[in-house]
Amino acid sequence: QVQLQESGPGLVKPSETLSLTCAVSGVSVSRDYWSWIRQPAGKGLEWVGRFSPGESLLYNPSLKSRVTVSIDTSKNQFSLELNSVTAADTAVYYCARSINSGFDIWGQGTMVIVSS
């Protein structure tokens, strides 16, 4: 059974870097496609970026200059870094497995607040 679990600081100061990790269990992170998706409170879903071993990283063009998605095979996890954050980056951040052009497995999400 594939499971995902996000972790990271719940509070980030403006202009600093948001760093989150998604621990993957039940499958090797070295296969499949792995994405980050965020959702501001009471609003819709926004895809952030996708990593897949052996393929080009994909990023939401609106965030591309600030986003890095990476993978740590030794820990079977993947990570998100979003720099120069503002209040607009406050959201629940989900990690998810991308498959068949959709997202079939999701983490429970982690709330990140950008505030001084």
Minimum separation from the CB atom of position 109 to other proteins (A): 6
Q: How many Cβ atoms are within 10 Å of 19's Cβ, its own excluded?
A: 16
> Given the complex with other proteins, which of 12 and 97 has the nearer CB atom?
97
> Given the complex with other proteins, which of 100 and 116 has the nearer CB atom?
100
> Given the complex with other proteins, which of 3 and 73 has the nearer CB atom?
3
Minimum separation from the CB atom of position 94 to other proteins (A): 5
Specify the amino acid at residue 30.
S
**Using CB under 8 A as the criterion, which residues of the chain lie in contact with other proteins when the complex forms?**
35, 37, 44-47, 50, 58-61, 94, 96, 98-104, 106-109
Q: What is the DSSP string of 23-40?
A: EEESS-TTSSEEEEEEE-
Question: Do the strands 58-59 and 67-72 form a parallel or antiparallel pair, or are they unpaired?
Answer: unpaired
d(CA 3, CA 77): 11
Minimum separation from the CB atom of position 56 to other proteins (A): 9
